[in-house]
């Protein structure tokens, strides 16, 4: 159990995570870390099986704790098919079922996902529905959802987060994670950059709609993001410190979400814009972009909107709210340029519609809803799309 006493109205936060291990050689500690489990079901895809899953399964087999493994045969999407695959492969195909009763089929006692975003989300939801505890062995510092309690899933023609549970264990072996494809590592930085605008949206919601706010969690997330920005150059040489800072940032935000009971610590308008693009890509049958890259691009848009609002507004309180973030927005731009973080959406119409959808997709207050109420959203959106194209894609 992770716990924190707090100054917010909740006074005390907790999340049912037994252990978080981010270090060199963490995988070797899996058998002892999971010693209370004896029928562990390992889930991976072909890539993650190759980089870590096979070794994880071998270690658990040697210690007598492995039930069996399932390796997704192709690309995995966070959808019903993937959930079905895990549920189907969780138990044996032939056993002496008692036909007229729900006598339990011999299921594993633990699901261990080996992978990053999709594997984690699919294992989380499957585990929750099967009532089996689960853990995640990370293979890439690519997205912030490791510690969160919800799984963003594609279903019914949309993408929505289904509440489930946090993993009991989060293991990241820096020797493995630091070797992830560079595009996944930079996407991870992109996902962290979105925390600035996400937290600032949360501050606006606190002041305008009286939404629940936890200053301690927000501060932890901001500090973790600052560390990622400060160390991000080291990512080019795959420095373990840089990778550690990204993973730690994910854990801080993931725990923040579990503590706060909402996704405010991790995401704001920049994420909703990214989710819209993802839906558009999926609907068009195109390969989805990395979540973190879309978030980085969404962050550029939302931070430029905040910047302009800061310059134009007569509202002294709003100005004071935005001011401390301005240097952080400079850091975001530097970081994206230095690391060459991919900005995947270059179509002006899609960018523009993303900003409008960022307001409409969710019933959650932030800068876009503020502009909508002022009757300025369309104008700001068009301006921000043009700015992005001029500053980032015309060179
Ligand atoms: Zn709190
Ligand atoms: Zn994210």
* pLDDT tens digit sequence for 250-308: 999 989 988 998 889 999 999 999 999 998 998 888 888 999 999 999 999 999 999 99
- Structural domain harbouring 259: 182-393
SS (H, E, C) the chain: CEEEECCCCCCEEEECCCEEEEECCHHHHHHHHCCCCCCEEEEEEHHHHHHHHHHHHHHHHHCCCEEEEEEECCCCCCCHHHHHHHHHHHCCCCCCCCCCCCCCCCCCCEEEEEECHHHHHHHHHHHHHHCCCEEEEECCCCCCCCCCCEEEEEECCEEEEEECCCCCEEEEEHHHHCCCCHHHHHHHHHHHHHHHHHHHHHHHHHHHHCCCCCHHHHHHHHHHHHHHHHHHHHHHHCCHHHHHHHHHHHHHHHHHHHHHCCCCCCCCHHHHHHHHHHHHHHHCCCCCCCHHHHHHHHHHHHHHHHHHHHHHCCCHHHHHHHHHHHHHHHHHHHHHHHHCCCCCCCCHHHHHHHHHHHHHCCCCCCHHHHHHHHCCHHHHHHHHHHHHHHHHHCC
Residue with token string 């699919």: 122
- Euclidean distance between CA atoms 159 and 200, whole angstroms: 24
**Domain final residue, candidates 126, 150, 177:** 177
Same domain (yes/no): 76, 133: yes
pLDDT given for residue 98 in this prediction? 65
Cα-to-centroid distance, 5 and ligand 1 (Å): 7
Instruction: Read off the pLDDT band of 104 (50, 70, 90).
Output: low
Same domain, 98 and 19: yes
Residues 203 and 249 in one domain: yes
Q: What is the pLDDT of residues 330-340, one digit of tens each?
A: 999 999 999 99
pLDDT of residue 339: 96
Other CB atoms within a 10 A radius of the CB of residue 345 amount to 23
Ligand 2 centre to CA of 144 (Å) is 5
Q: How far is the CA of 166 from the centre of ligand 1 (A)?
A: 18
The pLDDT tens digits for 84-97 are 999 999 987 776 66
Residues 207 and 107 in one domain: no
The pLDDT assigned to 282 comes to 84
pLDDT at 368 over 90: yes
Q: How many domains does the chain have?
A: 2
Mark whether 241 and 366 lie in a shared domain. Answer: yes
CA of 213 to the centre of ligand 1 (A): 8
Q: Where is the domain boundary, 150, 177, 204? A: 177
Q: Taking ligand 2, which is a single-atom ion, which protein residues have CB atoms under 5 Å away?
A: 144, 191
Q: Check residue 102 and give its pLDDT.
A: 65
Decide which of 158 and 343 is more confident: 343
Report the pLDDT value the prediction gives residue 250, as an integer from 0 to 100: 93
Question: In the listed set 177, 199, 225, which residue is the last one of a domain according to the structure?
Answer: 177
Q: In the predicted model, what is the mean pLDDT of residues 358-363?
A: 88
The whole-number pLDDT of residue 117 equals 87
Arithmetic mean of pLDDT over the chain: 94
Question: In terms of pLDDT, which residue wins out, 93 or 35?
Answer: 35
Model confidence at 157, pLDDT cuts 50, 70, 90, reads confident
- Please report the pLDDT score of residue 103 as a whole number: 60
Residues 170 and 191 placed together within one structural domain of the fold: no
> Which residues place a Cβ less than 5 A from the ion ligand 1?
6, 8, 214, 216
140 band by pLDDT with thresholds 50, 70 and 90: very high
Q: What percent of the chain shows pLDDT beyond 90?
A: 83
CATH number, domain of 62, equals 3.40.50.1970
Examine the domain organization and report whether 389 and 295 are in the same domain: yes
Task: Tell me, yes or no, whether 218 and 140 share the same domain.
Answer: no
User: Distance, CA 209 to ligand 2 centroid (Å)?
Assistant: 24
CA angle 326, 327, 332 (to 5 degrees): 95
Structure confidence at residue 113 as a pLDDT band (50, 70, 90): very high
Domain co-membership, 200 together with 173:
no
Task: State whether 381 and 275 are in the same domain.
Answer: yes
CATH number at residue 349: 1.20.1090.10
- Asked whether residue 136 falls in the same domain as residue 198, the answer is no
Q: Does the pLDDT of residue 70 top 80, yes or no?
A: yes
Mark whether 248 and 388 lie in a shared domain. yes
State in Å: Cα 13 to ligand 1 middle: 6
* Banded pLDDT at 100 (limits 50, 70, 90): low
């Amino acid at each position: 159990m992770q716990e924190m006493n707090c100054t917010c109205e909740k006074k005390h936060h907790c999340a049912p995570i037994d252990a978080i291990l981010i270090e060199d050689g963490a995988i070797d500690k899996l058998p002892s870390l999971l010693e209370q489990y004896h029928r562990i079901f390992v889930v991976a895809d072909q890539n993650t099986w190759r980089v870590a899953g096979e070794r994880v399964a071998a270690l658990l087999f040697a210690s007598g704790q492995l039930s069996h493994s399932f390796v997704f045969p192709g690309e995995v999407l966070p959808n019903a098919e993937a959930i079905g695959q895990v549920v189907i492969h969780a138990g044996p195909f032939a056993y002496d079922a008692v036909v007229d009763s729900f006598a339990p089929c011999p299921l594993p006692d633990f699901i261990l996902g080996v992978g990053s975003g999709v594997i984690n989300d699919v294992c989380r939801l499957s585990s929750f529905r099967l009532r089996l505890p689960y853990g995640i062995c990370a293979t890439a510092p690519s997205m912030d959802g490791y510690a969160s309690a919800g799984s963003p899933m594609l279903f019914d023609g949309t993408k929505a987060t289904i509440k489930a549970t946090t993993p009991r264990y989060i293991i990241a072996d820096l020797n493995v994670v630091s070797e992830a494809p560079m595009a996944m590592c930079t996407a991870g930085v992109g996902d962290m950059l979105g925390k600035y605008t996400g937290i600032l949206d949360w501050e606006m919601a606190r002041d305008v709609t009286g939404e629940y706010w936890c200053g301690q969690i927000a501060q932890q997330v901001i500090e973790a993001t600052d560390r990622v920005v400060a160390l991000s150059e080291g990512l080019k040489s795959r420095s373990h410190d840089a990778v550690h800072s990204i993973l730690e940032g994910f854990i801080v935000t993931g725990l923040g979400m579990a503590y706060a009971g909402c996704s405010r610590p991790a995401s704001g308008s920049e994420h909703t814009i990214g989710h819209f693009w993802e839906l558009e890509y999926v609907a068009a049958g195109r390969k989805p972009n990395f979540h973190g890259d879309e978030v980085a691009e969404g962050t550029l848009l939302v931070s430029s909107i905040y910047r302009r609002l800061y310059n134009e507004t007569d509202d002294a309180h709003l100005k004071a709210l935005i001011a401390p973030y301005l240097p952080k927005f400079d850091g975001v731009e530097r970081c994206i340029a230095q690391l060459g973080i991919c900005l995947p959406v270059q179509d002006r119409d899609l960018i523009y519609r993303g900003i409008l959808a960022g307001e409409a997709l969710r019933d959650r207050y932030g800068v876009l809803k503020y502009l909508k109420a002022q009757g300025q959203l369309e104008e700001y959106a068009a301006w921000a799309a043009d700015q992005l194209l001029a500053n980032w894609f015309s060179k």
